[in-house]
């Protein structure tokens, strides 16, 4: 069993537990093992972008990590450029060799969105035609997720789009238990409770209260200003949701 160590700052800031190199290495290895399914969803995401394939679009990847979403978008749009926002040096170190093939089309920005706000350096790198995120925003409590959606909307050009591949918590205890049983039947490992940090325990409690349901995600998107918001793909409690800013 892997044991992770956390300092006081890590415990106080949403998502900061991803600064540990051993935890990042475990996560990247686990995600690589699921790459085929993830690539299918990323290809769908790219098809939903309202831009010609040769357009020089500007992309922001929120919680970029080791860069899988940004890479998929840059492959789909060969004249695009992207910045990856992340707070974890360990994640960015894992991502740099993978993203090196894009040269100056991709750059990391070290920054924090734990308060539900895009940091000034990310805003200054825009405005953007596309904002994407995968498995990052769910670290925030519900009110800060809603706030971040508004920040993303403000950072987009007119006619831009936002897509988030993330947790959409089940609406009822029945659905929660059913989806959990399906995941376990498919071999998804059950988390070791002894490994949970205070931050992770609070994150679990947030999901147990069903704050980030699909309906709530769509509500937050529309409240942020996205005129056309929808769920474009869903499997159990993981969903690709997004919206378009009117031109």
Phi, psi of 230 (to 5 degrees): -160, 170
Quote the strand ranges of 40-186, DSSP E. 58-62, 81-86, 106-110, 128-134, 156-167
Q: Which residue has the tokens 């308060």?
A: 115
228-235 vs 156-167, strand pairing mode: unpaired
Q: What's the rounded Cα separation, in Å, for the pair 133 and 60?
A: 8
Q: What's the rounded Cα separation, in Å, for the pair 224 and 242?
A: 12
Q: What's the rounded Cα separation, in Å, for the pair 28 and 167?
A: 18
The correct CATH number of 8-244 out of 3.40.50.620, 3.40.50.150, 3.90.950.10, 3.40.50.1370 is 3.40.50.150
Quote the strand ranges of 206-246, DSSP E. 228-235, 238-244
pLDDT, position 118: 97
238-244 vs 228-235, strand pairing mode: antiparallel
pLDDT, position 4: 32
Q: N- to C-terminal Cα distance for the chain?
A: 51
Tokens of 133: 């995120």
Q: What's the rounded Cα separation, in Å, for the pair 162 and 237?
A: 19
pLDDT in tens, 86-129: 999 999 999 999 999 999 999 999 999 999 999 999 999 999 99
3-class secondary-structure state, position 107: strand
pTM for this predicted structure = 0.83
Q: How many CB atoms lie within 10 A of CB 187?
A: 6
pLDDT, position 11: 38
Q: What angle do CA 66, 166, 21 make, to 5 degrees?
A: 30
Element spanning 67, H or E? none
Task: Sketch the domain layout of the chain as residue ranges.
Answer: 8-244
Q: How many CB atoms lie within 10 A of CB 50?
A: 15
- How confident is the prediction along the chain (247 residues), in pLDDT tens digits per residue? 333 333 434 334 555 555 556 666 676 667 766 767 788 999 999 999 999 999 999 999 999 999 999 999 999 999 999 999 999 999 999 999 999 999 999 999 999 999 999 999 999 999 999 999 999 998 898 999 999 999 999 999 999 999 999 999 898 889 989 998 998 888 755 444 445 555 555 545 554 445 899 999 999 999 999 999 999 999 998 999 999 999 9
**% the chain with pLDDT above 90:** 64
């Amino acid at each position: 069993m892997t044991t992770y160590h956390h300092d006081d700052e890590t415990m106080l800031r949403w998502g900061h537990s991803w600064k540990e190199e051993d935890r990042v290495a475990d996560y990247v290895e686990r995600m690589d093992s699921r790459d085929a399914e993830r690539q299918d969803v990323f290809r769908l995401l790219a098809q939903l972008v309202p831009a010609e394939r040769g357009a020089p679009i500007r992309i922001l990847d929120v919680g970029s990590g080791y860069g899988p979403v940004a890479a998929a978008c840059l492959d789909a749009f060969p004249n695009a450029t992207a910045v990856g926002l992340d707070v974890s040096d360990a994640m960015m170190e894992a991502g740099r060799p993978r993203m090196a093939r894009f040269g100056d089309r991709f750059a990391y920005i070290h920054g924090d969105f734990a308060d539900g706000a895009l940091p000034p350096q990310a805003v200054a790198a825009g405005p953007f035609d596309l904002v994407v995120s995968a498995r990052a925003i769910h670290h925030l409590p519900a009110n800060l997720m809603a706030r971040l959606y508004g920040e993303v909307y403000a950072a987009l050009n007119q006619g831009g789009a936002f897509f988030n591949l993330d947790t959409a918590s089940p609406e009822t205890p029945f659905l929660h238990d059913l989806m959990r049983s399906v995941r376990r039947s498919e071999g998804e490992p059950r988390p070791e409770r002894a490994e949970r940090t205070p931050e992770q325990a609070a994150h679990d409690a947030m999901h147990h209260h069903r704050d980030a349901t699909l309906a709530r995600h769509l509500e937050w998107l529309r409240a942020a200003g996205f005129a056309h918001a929808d769920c474009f793909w869903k499997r159990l409690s993981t969903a690709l949701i997004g919206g378009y800013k009117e031109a």
